[in-house]
Amino acid sequence: MAQTPINTNWQDLDEEVQQAQKMLDVMEQQIVRPGHTTKARNKRRRVEPTVKWVERDACGYRIQDNSKPLRRESVPRMPLVPEMQSTARADESCFDPSIKGPSNEEMLDVLRQEMEELISDALLGDPEVRTIPNIASVDWAIRKSKSLERWKELRPDLIQYMLKAENTVQTLCSYCRNKKAVLRCQDCLPKQYYCEDCDLSFHAVFVLHNRDSMVDGFFMPIPPTTVIKFASDGKLIYEEKDCKLPVPVPERICACAAAAAATASIGKWVILITVNGRYSMYLPVLNCTFCGNSWSPNSSDLIQNGYWPASVSYETIYSMDLFYMFEDMKVIAPAMSLQAFTRTLERRTSHFGRVGKICDSTFQRSYLEWNYCRFEIDQLCHVQHFKCPACMPNMLAVSVDGNRKHYRFKKGPHVWFYFAQFPCLFVCLFVCFFYFQVSGKGKCGASQWAAAKESSKKSTSKIDEEGLEVAVCRHGIILKALNMFQGEIFAYPLFLQKEIAVNKVKFFCSDVVCRYWPYLQKVVNVCPELSHLQDMKPFLSIMHAKAHASKCEIKWGGRNQQGAGTTLGEEVEQVNSFLSKTAICLKQMSKSVRTDMLTIQVIGWNGRKRDNMHCALSQRYRKVCDLHGSFMQLF
């Protein structure tokens, strides 16, 4: 089998390196010549003085020696290694130090340099040698550049493929195989081409498919209410038809003996909105010709088949799949607004050849009703959305912090669903009681860290809620939250601490716990019934401790707390990053809608954390094992 060019180049390079190595060995042997011992050569070696004179200027400062050493290129080079044959029989006089010219040590350095240049030239000069296999698997920049090069090479072909895909080929119907196809339905792949008769019979059932007409020589999207037929002159024309909402109909609607006594017809006109946009549909109706009974789908029939009414009159119907999609997007991309989502649905409507607008307020109201019904079902099933399965029943640490970005401007009154999740009245009464009883200080030492205080006044602007105060466990699960109406004062974390005390929390983490804990001691003196809150240990967050005074970091810092383990106390910052994104769309909402939407997003956040809990715990366990192993190696 013939060798490839890259293998031949590597073999030649290997032979040259071996010859150079042999030459180096011979020259090193010739440096110490016979009859000249190493001891004698050391005696003739010049002894360098141990005392060096230092030059100084007029002021007495030392003058630095900035002289550069001689460049190695000034030394004359020896011939290349492949040209020197039979080095073992070379004349010893060429290495005699008495001969004028470079010394043997200098010639060795020159030879090493030439060998390195030879290797580098071989690697950089030959493109076949330079292509080292599997180098892209370890270098991200090479993988990225190669990927861009491949896309650039493929781009002209992709353009040709796209142009070819828009070409309407003359083909037969994929079902009857007798008539010429007049339209295409990519939802029916692999059999996507239909004649006018097969399309009318097949898509009378699958009315939500997106079809493209091929009558005019190009693909044109048409709505489900449009069909293609032959006119009297033999030309293809478009006609309108009535589409029924795809719901199953009962076989019998009455006790009449005749099974075929019921006749189907169209009923009320409704608007159906799915992930593909808006559709114009009719509710199906069955009428008995003998007894006169009729049947039409009600709320139960619609919900069982994946639809949700937008109103009690069923004029607009939403697909539940659309609600699931909107809920996931509000958790993954919390800054996306409802208006942007509905405009996207309108664009998809026009993209598939349909027309119509989508009402934002109707969609929002229907979505909140659907989500609250799901929440009530979860309550019946004892699903705990605001509890961490890894921390229960006894929690190690809870982190509390405020978020001032979640302010809201004053709006009109509204009816809310999730009132109990963000209590307002109880918090206001609690804050008003302690506001005039106990005062606190929010600045730590000489630093400018003033994250929380007790003397804050309510804003005089048009802002109603001024932010959120949240309590988070070590695993990022949001346990409790409340609206702040008077700035970030100590009474808000006090209320949260009182609420989470039933979980037997060991450490209470905060970024200003050095000032909050003396405030708590004053509160206990006023209200002894809150003395059990002092059973928790104060924990100053690891990162925020760097901004405090040194003595504060030593006394309250989490690194010095026995039993805290690898707790950071900064878990609430990850939640605040998520909540700050949600605040973009909540500033102009009403009080109730803001509370409901925020609760839905928090439930979605906790659900995502709960689903990934096994991965997070395994990664933490591995990290702790590595830290323990490195610690044991030190001792």
How confident is the model at residue 31, as a pLDDT? 56
Higher pLDDT, 426 or 509: 509
Query: Within this chain, do residues 211 and 274 fall inside the same structural domain, yes or no?
Result: no
**Cβ–Cβ under 8 Å, residues 542 and 525:** no
Residue with tokens 């010639």: 107
Counting the structural domains of the chain, the total is 4
What mean pLDDT do residues 257-271 have? 79
Alpha-carbon dihedral 192, 193, 195, 201, rounded to 10 degrees:
0
Q: Is 74 helix (H, G, I), strand (E, B) or coil?
A: helix
Higher pLDDT, 137 or 423: 137
How confident is the model at residue 430, as a pLDDT? 61
Is there a domain that residue 118 lies in? yes
Is there a domain that residue 248 lies in? no
Does residue 100 surpass a pLDDT of 70?
Answer: no
Query: Within this chain, do residues 443 and 581 fall inside the same structural domain, yes or no?
Result: yes
How confident is the model at residue 75, as a pLDDT? 43
Does residue 16 surpass a pLDDT of 70?
Answer: yes
Query: Within this chain, do residues 419 and 526 fall inside the same structural domain, yes or no?
Result: yes
Give percent of the chain above pLDDT 90. 41
**Encoded amino acid at 333, one letter:** A
Predicted confidence (pLDDT) per residue in 290-322, tens digit = 777 889 999 999 999 999 999 888 899 999 999
Phi, psi dihedral angles at 358 (to 5 degrees): -125, 125
- CA dist 388 and 613 (Å) reads 10
How confident is the model at residue 99, as a pLDDT? 46
Query: Within this chain, do residues 13 and 104 fall inside the same structural domain, yes or no?
Result: yes
How confident is the model at residue 466, as a pLDDT? 86
Query: Within this chain, do residues 226 and 364 fall inside the same structural domain, yes or no?
Result: no
Helices (H), ranges, 173-275: 196-202
Predicted confidence (pLDDT) per residue in 374-420, tens digit = 999 999 999 999 999 998 888 999 999 998 888 887 765 555 555 55
How many separate helices (H) and strands (E) can be counted in the chain? 17, 16
Query: Within this chain, do residues 440 and 571 fall inside the same structural domain, yes or no?
Result: yes
How confident is the model at residue 70, as a pLDDT? 47
Query: Within this chain, do residues 372 and 266 fall inside the same structural domain, yes or no?
Result: yes
Is there a domain that residue 253 lies in? no
Predicted confidence (pLDDT) per residue in 190-211, tens digit = 999 999 999 999 999 999 999 9
Is the peptide bond prior to 393 cis by the omega test (within 30 degrees of 0)? yes
Does residue 79 surpass a pLDDT of 60?
Answer: no
- CA dist 427 and 430 (Å) reads 5
- CA dist 204 and 7 (Å) reads 67
**Cβ–Cβ under 8 Å, residues 274 and 321:** yes
Tokens of 205: 């059932």
Is there a domain that residue 66 lies in? no
Q: How confident is the model at residue 456 (pLDDT cuts 50, 70, 90)?
A: low
Report the length, in residues, of the chain: 635
**Cβ–Cβ under 8 Å, residues 341 and 597:** no
Which range among 12-16, 325-329, 604-608 shows the weakest confidence by mean pLDDT? 12-16
What mean pLDDT do residues 344-373 have? 94
Does residue 80 surpass a pLDDT of 50?
Answer: no
Does residue 478 surpass a pLDDT of 90?
Answer: yes
Predicted confidence (pLDDT) per residue in 553-580, tens digit = 888 888 878 888 888 888 999 999 999 9
Query: Within this chain, do residues 358 and 414 fall inside the same structural domain, yes or no?
Result: no
Which range among 25-29, 126-130, 587-591, 615-619 shows the weakest confidence by mean pLDDT? 126-130
How confident is the model at residue 464, as a pLDDT? 78
Nearest CA among 186, 602, 246, 554 for reference residue 421: 602
First to last CA, the chain: 59
Higher pLDDT, 131 or 490: 490
535, burial (CB in 10 Å: exposed 0-12, middle 13-18, buried 19+): exposed
Edge-first strand listing for the sheet containing 262-274: 294-295, 277-288, 262-274, 316-319, 307-309
Which of the given ranges, 5-19, 134-148, 331-345, has the highest pLDDT on average?
Answer: 331-345
Is there a domain that residue 113 lies in? yes
Q: How confident is the model at residue 489 (pLDDT cuts 50, 70, 90)?
A: confident
Does residue 608 surpass a pLDDT of 90?
Answer: yes
How confident is the model at residue 410, as a pLDDT? 74
Is there a domain that residue 245 lies in? no
Give percent of the chain above pLDDT 70. 73
Does residue 7 surpass a pLDDT of 90?
Answer: no
Query: Within this chain, do residues 577 and 467 fall inside the same structural domain, yes or no?
Result: yes
How confident is the model at residue 73, as a pLDDT? 45
Query: Within this chain, do residues 234 and 292 fall inside the same structural domain, yes or no?
Result: no
Query: Within this chain, do residues 207 and 234 fall inside the same structural domain, yes or no?
Result: yes
**Which residues form the domain of 25?**
1-32+72-131
Is there a domain that residue 625 lies in? no
How confident is the model at residue 434, as a pLDDT? 59
How confident is the model at residue 551, as a pLDDT? 84
Query: Within this chain, do residues 267 and 235 fall inside the same structural domain, yes or no?
Result: no
Predicted confidence (pLDDT) per residue in 343-357, tens digit = 999 999 999 999 999
Is there a domain that residue 218 lies in? yes
Average pLDDT, the chain: 80
Predicted confidence (pLDDT) per residue in 423-449, tens digit = 555 566 666 655 656 655 555 554 444
Which range among 85-89, 139-143, 167-171, 524-528 shows the weakest confidence by mean pLDDT? 85-89
**Cβ–Cβ under 8 Å, residues 302 and 378:** no
